[in-house]
Structure 1
Amino acid sequence: MCCLSIRIPCFKGLLLGLMAAVFWVSAGWAQQVAKQTSDPEPFEMIRSLQSLQEQIAQGNSHAMQAQRALLTKMDASFVVLPADAWQEPRNARAAVIHLLSGGHPDVMRYLLSLDPAPAVDRKLMEASLAYVEGREEDMIVLLAEIDPLELPASLGGHVALVKAAPYIRTDPEKAMELLQVASLLMPGTLVEEAALRREVFVAGMTGNVDRFRVLSIRYLRRFRTSVYAGDFRRRFALSLDTLGFVKSEDKFALLDDVLHEFDADSRRGLYLRLARSALLAGHLNVARKATGEALTLTVDGTKENEILKIYLAATRLDPEFITANRDLLWSIDKSILTAQDLAMLDGVYTVLNSVRHFPEPPPNVIGEFNVATNMDAPEDQSWVSADMELANVLLRRTGKSLAQLGEQDER
């Protein structure tokens, strides 16, 4: 009995201890589940956003839609969080990144009204709002003393990118430095992609050919499939005009390694643009080379191929090419050319005729040379109208009359 009386209380104590342990484990598990099922923290949502942006930089168009949906969710989530949530520095920084990534400015206006204020430099919050609202001068003042390199990389990259924007026109060298910082802090992200695009534009604007070439190759090798690559191609093409690559064969040769980084379609369009620019500037050797490169990338019968025939004829002014030019120009399908292209064609006719009159038209062609029209073979008369038959009769009669007059003169 004595033993039992001792063991029973011990057993009860052990049982109570086990029950307490189970309770605390269950409570901890319940808290963990609640945390997992609730909305993630702002800084966690920013990580998801940046993951989507990396996919956008690699050409995933579906990620664009997902980004818009996530930003909308963040807009709604951020304004209902308790004020103490923004005392977490990572969350406060996330709010700035959210706005600079396309978030709604009303969120930042709300956060600026909180007391206590979010745990991030207020100038960063106000500067980000000034940037999206287009208040450039205010943004410059607010960010003047803020060094992006002293901020966490995920925020510093964004700040360097927006801080560079107003200096692109006023101080290109400073803009270039800030864009390089943005690329350095956030490699592989949409921030680096945007920074490189702008660096190419600045290099072209300042006439720095070497930097333009290096940056263009870097962009194409890292972000050629980016959703925003079209903007890069547009900026690149504009820079080709300003940097004067068509002025000499040596300068044109510098483009070879860059252009071969583009896909075939883009490369064809760029060579076509260069050929036209060189032709209009009177640099025929460069125009001939660009035209030749473009012709290897075009398909017979396409509009681009017909335009390049004009360019090719315009670059061959030597007398030995006169017959080849004649046949080439008469083979052009003018029905698919624009008014601008037809004007170029007329200009080529005028120039070549001023050098030397063309020989007789090729077979199966009628009409004056500079209003050429290809005709079908003689056995196919489907193209002949009643007016054309009448004109033909009148021409034959006129010919006979002229011949008779000639015979009378000889007598």
Structure 2
Amino acid sequence: MRRLAAAFLLAGLPHGALAQQAVDGLQPYQMLRSLQFLQDTVVMGDHSAAEMQRFMLSTIDRALRTADPTVFDDPRNVDAVLIYAMSGGNPATLEFLVSKDVGGNFDTRVADALRKYLAGKGSMIAGGMEKMVPEYRGQRIGPYLALIAGNVTVTKTPQNALAFYDWARLTAPGTIIEEAALRRSIAITVELGMVDKALTYSRQYARRFVFSPYASQFADLFVRLVVSHYGALSDEDVRNALERMDDDRAREIYLRIARQATIDGKAKLAQFASGEAGARGVAISEGDRAVAGLYSGAAKLPNGKVEDASKALADIPDARLSPQDKALRAAAQRVAEEVLRPPVAESFRQDEDANIQNDISGETVSAVSGDERAGKAAAPGKTPGGSAPKLDPAFQTYVDRGRSTLDAIDDLLKGEN
């Protein structure tokens, strides 16, 4: 099909008209092969093939609706209709052809299951699909049916869905079927906390389909896997999963990991990911370098390197940060400022009102909590009389300022999430 598209351009003739001439007289299964090739090309990274894919879908649709019924005496053309329907084709065309099938060429069980699935009633066919898939193993529509079986069983029996996806991708390697099955397998294993399997699937996806238009979904899932299960996953696990990626895409994922780890307070992971982002390639942009520095600086706060972190954060130019990253930096800077702010000497003076008289011994003891010293009737943190202990005014001001700062930071981080 690439050669066909190139011929259109070289001839200087309308793309659609020449393409129509090129497919005239072809059998449905032959046109279907071209569609499959285009879809596989798209998930491998040639996004320019997407326009031709849309053209092929509409061309096949017209060819199927106008085909002589005897064409479907050939099982390859029957399979072509079913695969066309499962590959983004017009569901009404499948309905139209099955209704005209007087020769019994279509398996009505498969046709009925596809009609329900394409109409959004997948839960109604889950049981039937589990029985149907083994029957069609080794046949042209087998991998497609396995993929659909995984889709309709995933909510109730995710382990069964994984088995269907495994079978689909292993019998259709390098295709859009494998890409979809791998991506959905990652989603299941991340959701179920199956860390080892999720890492294995992620490594395979990152090596085979990183240029797919659906790779952003993989990136979301991988970031969630790493941040949620860091510890069970080592730095080397993460590095190995992304080692075959090109630098630009790997750097983007590392920055996303660093950002989420910073928000979640996972300083070690944030430092590792921001360091890896900076190390991937010499062509890192100033913007990416600034973002990596932001996450690295924020990650130093819990480790006691507050002064270094505060200086690093202040040195990052505003122009290099997105509005979200500016908000994150502001939150980190406020934390650093509060940590570095010197305490007021009077704040450490013991509040005499926090002492109570022991009724038994007559000794004065420090009130640890309302329940321990004042009895169960008193609320925690209050004197037996029910009034809150009075704090030194300077210390009360310090506490109030700290609480307002933490509330503001919480608001900023909630907005980020």
Give the TM-score taking structure 1 as reference length: 0.69
Distance change (3 Å), C-alpha of 1:98 and 1:302 = same
CA contact (8 A) 1:148 1:157 kept: no
**Residue 188 (str. 1) matches residue 174 (str. 2):** yes
CA contact (8 A) 1:307 1:341 kept: yes
Q: Aligned match of 2:154 in 164, 168, 184?
A: 168
CA contact (8 A) 1:183 1:195 kept: yes
Distance change (3 Å), C-alpha of 1:262 and 1:175 = same
Q: Aligned match of 1:228 in 180, 203, 214?
A: 214
Question: Which runs of structure 2 are paired with 1:330-341 in the superposition (5 Å)?
Answer: 330-341=314-325
Displacement after TM superposition at 1:339 (Å): 4.4
Residue 312 of structure 2 corresponds to: 328
2:141 partner SS: helix
Distance in 2, Cα, partners of 1:42 & 1:277: 49
Q: Aligned match of 1:70 in 41, 45, 56?
A: 56
1:90 partner SS: helix
Identity of aligned residues (%): 28
Distance change (3 Å), C-alpha of 1:182 and 1:351 = same
Q: Aligned match of 1:273 in 256, 277, 294?
A: 256
2:45 partner SS: coil
Displacement after TM superposition at 1:158 (Å): 0.5
CA contact (8 A) 2:235 2:272 kept: no
Describe the superposition over 1:267-303 as per-residue Cα deviations: whole angstroms up to 9, x where unpaired.
2222222223333333322222222222334878844
Residue 95 of structure 1 corresponds to: 81
Residue 17 of structure 2 corresponds to: none
Range with greater deviation from structure 2 (190-199 or 304-313): 304-313
**Residue 44 (str. 1) matches residue 27 (str. 2):** no
Distance in 1, Cα, partners of 2:76 & 2:285: 60
CA contact (8 A) 2:258 2:273 kept: yes
Distance in 2, Cα, partners of 1:277 & 1:318: 15
Distance in 2, Cα, partners of 1:37 & 1:336: 51
Distance in 1, Cα, partners of 2:190 & 2:64: 41
CA contact (8 A) 1:272 1:291 kept: yes
| Structure 1: unaligned runs, 5 residues or longer | 1-35, 359-411
Question: Which runs of structure 2 are paired with 1:128-139 in the superposition (5 Å)?
Answer: 128-139=114-125
Q: Aligned match of 2:326 in 342, 348, 352?
A: 342
Displacement after TM superposition at 1:131 (Å): 1.8
- Aligned-pair RMSD on alpha carbons? 2.9
Describe the superposition over 1:224-255 as per-residue Cα deviations: whole angstroms up to 9, x where unpaired.
333433333333334334x422xx38634421
Distance in 1, Cα, partners of 2:277 & 2:23: 58
Range with greater deviation from structure 2 (222-231 or 270-279): 222-231
Structure with bigger gyration radius? 1
Displacement after TM superposition at 1:173 (Å): 0.7
1:116 partner SS: coil
Give the TM-score taking structure 2 as reference length: 0.68
1:145 partner SS: helix
Distance in 1, Cα, partners of 2:328 & 2:259: 10
Residue 258 of structure 1 corresponds to: 241
Distance change (3 Å), C-alpha of 1:332 and 1:300 = farther
CA contact (8 A) 1:306 1:333 kept: yes
Letter in 2 for 1:193: E
Range with greater deviation from structure 2 (331-340 or 292-301): 292-301
| Structure 2: unaligned runs, 5 residues or longer | 1-21, 343-417
Distance in 2, Cα, partners of 1:344 & 1:321: 18
Q: Aligned match of 1:351 in 320, 327, 335?
A: 335
Letter in 1 for 2:334: T
Distance in 2, Cα, partners of 1:44 & 1:338: 49
Q: How many residues align?
A: 320
Residue 415 of structure 2 corresponds to: none
CA contact (8 A) 1:87 1:118 kept: no
